[in-house]
Chains A and B, each alone.
Chain A
Amino acid sequence: MIKLQNVHKRLGGRAVLAGFDLDIGRGETLVLLGRSGTGKSVTLRHIVGLMQPDQGHIEVLGSDISTLKGRELMKHRRRIGYLFQDGALLNWLNLGDNVALPLRENMLCSASEIEDRVFKVLSQVELEQHADKLPSEISGGMRKRAGLARALVCNPEIVLYDEPTSGLDPISSSLINRLIDDLKSSTQITQVVVTHDMASAFEIGDRIALLHEGKVRALGTADEVRNSSDPAVSQFIHGRIEGPLAREPLPEPQPETETDEGSDPQQKENIQ
């Protein structure tokens, strides 16, 4: 479903991904762990085609994502949902319109069907009563849940979550975790979750990958990771200061869109 082979990426003169390999199967929920700056969000951006690798191969849903351009890339992206850290909702649209946006703009279904689908996904995240509110009128947790509803409204085959529970209260976190779990059991959605929340990682992950120095340092089921003899894994899951991961990585360079209009002109890009 998702294959990353020998992916290299340098940002701001630093190797964020250095020979990164990962294979994620259909219907699998994979959790990406790692210290800040180890390339977790950059990995998600590569999967969705917002960034191109300097070297290596990325196959998503049977296509080499780095070769897709224009309409092909857009069509491909419709099969992928993405939950951003802060929801990335458009501030001038209410929650209902935000969630309906991809359906309306891509003219994927009729107005009544859009209404039904929006209500359904908003109900899933328990926001159906707040469809008329603007993002500025709700809490950060609600924004994140609305972002999740928007990621799910097009019935994607892959959902990518960038820290879905960070900054949330325990109840909202549990709601998101339950939703990810429900999606796993009720559909064949493939999910990749970047998180620092260890409890959440062990709860939702079929497999867990620990990233370190631009590579996958450890990969296995929750139990395998929990019982790993690798000192780096043990240090990370127990949050110990001393250990192989002690060296503070540089902050992850701000990811830049590379393929579309919003790009920095100093980067090579292809304005759509």
Chain B
Amino acid sequence: MVGWIREFGAFLRRTSTTAGFGLMLIWRTALVLPHALAPRRFRNILDLIFIYAIGALPVTLVVSVFTGMILALNTGLSLKDFGQEQMIGRIVAVSLVREMGPFMTALILAASVGSGVAAEIGTMKISEEIDALEIMSISPIKFLVLPRMVALTLVCPLMTLFAGVVGILGGILVSEFQLGVNWVTFKNDALLHLQKKDVYTGLLKSFIFGLTIATVGCTQGLITRGGATGVGSSTRRSVVVTFLLVIIIGYYVTWMFFS
């Protein structure tokens, strides 16, 4: 029993110190944010945006289209029972823009990009490259964390917009060909009920999710220790922690704006 309590205490201590480290990382990165505009760093950020977006694009495309289709099919069939299938547009559009789009995109980026960031920085940590940067008087925050944080924070809303659009297109396909709801009816219903608030809340969420993915990835990378096993653990933890944070943060943002 005592051992269990001690272990739990150690877990809490580790979690709180890591969380503190992550928050400090955001703060220190915010302090050097103007350096993102320096030509060399700016080019680096654009490269990363391109790499992250292109890398996640095929998965986002497939997942979003099918999510839109599933959403339309499930709700459409139920609505059809009540003769209300013309309401399908609002349900698909609002769900995707406000909730599903940011959420799906964040999970995809956490798995494909955030884990990569953790593995990349973790490998640099164990191969002494981070130490080498410090000895060369190069701040790892400016050189490594800042570009990744800015790039991911921008990529996430961009990919969310993309996911929303292609998801709605998937919903239109199902509505048109399986539910017999004309795409114009779908569009009109969606535009009538989709509010600006839905769009900016979704984008705000995805902005916060992007920052979360980058912070967790960089934090897990920087605290890596213990060789290849350590890199593996950091990568796995970065995905698990990001998933949990995305769900929790997503709930509170929705609660703040819609409760």
Report A's interface with B, CB cutoff 8 A.
45, 48, 50, 74-75, 77-78, 80, 82, 84-86, 88-90, 101-102, 104-106, 150, 154, 254, 256-257, 259-266, 271-272
Whether B128 pairs with A77 at a CB distance below 8 angstroms is no
List 12 A–B pairs whose Cβ atoms lie within 8 Å, in order of A's numbering. Answer: A77-B135, A82-B132, A102-B138, A254-B225, A256-B225, A257-B134, A260-B134, A261-B145, A262-B130, A263-B222, A271-B25, A271-B28
In angstroms, Cα B135 to Cα A88, docked, is 11
Across the interface, which residues of B come within 8 angstroms of A88, CB to CB? 127-129, 131-132
Across the interface, which residues of A come within 8 angstroms of B17, CB to CB? 265-266
Chain B nearest Cβ from A196, distance in angstroms: 18
Chain B nearest Cβ from A51, distance in angstroms: 10
Whether A264 pairs with B225 at a CB distance below 8 angstroms is yes
In angstroms, Cα B131 to Cα A80, docked, is 13
In angstroms, Cα B136 to Cα A75, docked, is 9
Knowing A254-B226, A266-B17, the reply to whether A272 touches B137 (Cβ < 8 A) is no
Chain B nearest Cβ from A256, distance in angstroms: 7
Whether A257 pairs with B130 at a CB distance below 8 angstroms is yes
Across the interface, which residues of B come within 8 angstroms of A74, CB to CB? 137, 139
A-B contact count (CB 8 A): 91
In angstroms, Cα B138 to Cα A78, docked, is 10
Chain B nearest Cβ from A104, distance in angstroms: 7
Whether A105 pairs with B128 at a CB distance below 8 angstroms is no
Residue of A78, A84, A271 near B132 (CB, 8 A) is: A84
Whether A261 pairs with B139 at a CB distance below 8 angstroms is yes
Chain B nearest Cβ from A109, distance in angstroms: 14
Whether B131 pairs with A50 at a CB distance below 8 angstroms is yes
Whether B141 pairs with A82 at a CB distance below 8 angstroms is no
In angstroms, Cα B21 to Cα A82, docked, is 27
Whether A261 pairs with B129 at a CB distance below 8 angstroms is no
Chain A nearest Cβ from B186, distance in angstroms: 46
> Does B55 belong to the interface (CB within 8 Å)?
no
The 7 tightest CB contacts between A and B, nearest first, are A265-B21, A262-B130, A88-B132, A102-B136, A74-B137, A88-B128, A265-B17
Whether B21 pairs with A86 at a CB distance below 8 angstroms is no
Across the interface, which residues of A come within 8 angstroms of B135, CB to CB? 48, 50, 77, 80, 82
Q: Count B-side interface residues using an 8 Å CB cutoff.
A: 32
- Chain A residue at minimum C-beta to C-beta distance from B135: A82
> Does B9 belong to the interface (CB within 8 Å)?
no
Residue of A105, A262, A266 near B136 (CB, 8 A) is: A105
> What is the 8 Å Cβ interface bit string for chain B, positions 12-45, against chain A (1 contact, 0 not)?
0010011011001100100000000000100000
In angstroms, Cα B131 to Cα A75, docked, is 16
In angstroms, Cα B134 to Cα A78, docked, is 10
Whether B137 pairs with A264 at a CB distance below 8 angstroms is no
Whether A262 pairs with B140 at a CB distance below 8 angstroms is yes
- Chain B residue at minimum C-beta to C-beta distance from A267: B17
Across the interface, which residues of B come within 8 angstroms of A80, CB to CB? 135
Knowing A50-B135, A77-B134, A264-B223, the reply to whether A86 touches B127 (Cβ < 8 A) is yes
In angstroms, Cα B131 to Cα A86, docked, is 12
Whether B132 pairs with A77 at a CB distance below 8 angstroms is no
Knowing A82-B132, A101-B138, the reply to whether A261 touches B225 (Cβ < 8 A) is no
Knowing A86-B128, A88-B127, A262-B130, the reply to whether A77 touches B28 (Cβ < 8 A) is no
In angstroms, Cα B20 to Cα A150, docked, is 34
In angstroms, Cα B226 to Cα A74, docked, is 27
Across the interface, which residues of B come within 8 angstroms of A85, CB to CB? 128
- Chain B residue at minimum C-beta to C-beta distance from A255: B131
- Chain A residue at minimum C-beta to C-beta distance from B28: A271
Chain B nearest Cβ from A97, distance in angstroms: 11
Chain B nearest Cβ from A190, distance in angstroms: 16
> Does B205 belong to the interface (CB within 8 Å)?
no
Whether A260 pairs with B127 at a CB distance below 8 angstroms is no
Across the interface, which residues of B come within 8 angstroms of A265, CB to CB? 17-18, 20-21, 223
> Does B125 belong to the interface (CB within 8 Å)?
yes
In angstroms, Cα B127 to Cα A257, docked, is 12
In angstroms, Cα B123 to Cα A236, docked, is 34
In angstroms, Cα B21 to Cα A272, docked, is 12
Whether B21 pairs with A262 at a CB distance below 8 angstroms is no
Across the interface, which residues of B come within 8 angstroms of A260, CB to CB? 134, 139-140
- Chain A residue at minimum C-beta to C-beta distance from B17: A265
Across the interface, which residues of A come within 8 angstroms of B127, CB to CB? 86, 88
In angstroms, Cα B124 to Cα A86, docked, is 12
Across the interface, which residues of B come within 8 angstroms of A154, CB to CB? 136
Whether A75 pairs with B137 at a CB distance below 8 angstroms is yes
In this complex, the member of A85, A254, A271 whose beta carbon has the largest number of chain B beta carbons within 10 angstroms is A271
In angstroms, Cα B21 to Cα A85, docked, is 28
Knowing A50-B134, A272-B28, the reply to whether A261 touches B140 (Cβ < 8 A) is yes
Known: A102-B138, A106-B138, A271-B28. 17 other contacts (CB 8 A): A45-B131, A50-B134, A74-B137, A77-B134, A88-B127, A105-B138, A106-B136, A256-B225, A257-B134, A260-B134, A260-B140, A261-B130, A261-B222, A265-B18, A266-B17, A271-B24, A271-B25
